[in-house]
Amino acid sequence: MPPDTRERLLHAAIGLFARKGYASTSVADILDAAGVNAGSLYHFFPGKQDVLLAVLETYRQGIDPMLLQPAWDGVADPIERVFALLGHYREYLRRTECTYGCPIGSIALELHEPDPPVRALLAANFDGWISAIEGCFIEAGDRLPASVDRRALAIFALTTMEGGVMLSRTDRTLDAFDAAVRMLRDYVDRLQASGSSRGTPVTLSPPGP
């Protein structure tokens, strides 16, 4: 009847790591939030770091169903999808009064030792995000100049989001996030204007049907 104990621990850890960070969350915090005893946690996980690994793996698997699909619901245009996703983070910031933004980014900067398995999963999360946005820019086809590196543009969108979250969390205002996204929007608009300035410019795709 009560959901899987492991599941409850995972869910509690996800909330606490997002709210307080990894290092500041104690195992006792997780146990309290999950209503579970120490013995059970150490039955499912070798240690605290393995809880983090499971959390990061959960995030990674959730990128598509939990993040992209809700953000892209009803948004067909690939370039609008990029900004719809950024708008999703804005909503998250707004609802929490700018207290927390992207949990992956926070943990990434919290990490100071090599910790190869943790780092690999953080990188996999960033890569999943970047690849999805890269897909949008690729799908935009010749609306963007062929010379523009789609993946670099996707990385740029991620740095805009993460940097915007960092600044907005610091001064508890959406101003910086909005300013950064506004500039990214202006850049993409200018790329589109230049790409379609006269007929079909240099492009790698065959002429449309």
Q: Is 48 in the site for DNA (CB under 7 A)?
A: yes
**Which partner from the list a second copy, DNA, none does 110 bind, CB cut-off 5 to 8 Å by kind?**
a second copy
Q: C-alpha angle with apex 125: 119 to 126, nearest 5 degrees? A: 90
Name the residue nearer to a second copy (CB basis): 44 or 100. Answer: 100
Total number of residues binding DNA (CB under 7 A)?
18
Name the residue nearer to a second copy (CB basis): 4 or 193. Answer: 193
Q: Is 58 in the site for DNA (CB under 7 A)?
A: no
C-alpha to C-alpha distance for 16 and 24, rounded to whole angstroms: 9
Enclosing H/E stretch for 100: none
Give the residue from 160, 150, 147 showing the smallest Cα distance to 79. Answer: 150
Q: Is 148 in the site for DNA (CB under 7 A)?
A: no
Cβ-based burial of 161 (10 A; exposed 0-12, middle 13-18, buried ≥19): buried
In angstroms, give the least distance from the CB of 14 to DNA: 16
Helical ranges in the chain per DSSP H: 5-20, 27-34, 38-44, 48-62, 69-72, 78-95, 103-110, 116-139, 150-171, 175-195
Contacts of 154 (CB under 8 A, 6+ apart): 130, 131, 133, 134, 136, 137
Interaction site with a second copy (CB under 8 A): 19-21, 23-24, 100, 105-106, 108-112, 119, 122-123, 126, 148-149, 151-153, 155-156, 158-164, 166-167, 169-172, 176, 179-180, 182-184, 186-187, 190-191, 194
Structure tokens of 134? 């890269």
**Which partner from the list DNA, a second copy, none does 49 bind, CB cut-off 5 to 8 Å by kind?**
DNA
**Which partner from the list DNA, a second copy, none does 53 bind, CB cut-off 5 to 8 Å by kind?**
none
Q: Is 47 in the site for DNA (CB under 7 A)?
A: yes
**Which partner from the list DNA, a second copy, none does 37 bind, CB cut-off 5 to 8 Å by kind?**
DNA
Q: C-alpha angle with apex 155: 85 to 157, nearest 5 degrees? A: 35
Q: Is 7 in the site for DNA (CB under 7 A)?
A: no
Name the residue nearer to DNA (CB basis): 31 or 174. Answer: 31
Residues within the interface to DNA (CB under 7 A) = 5, 25-29, 36-40, 42-44, 46-49
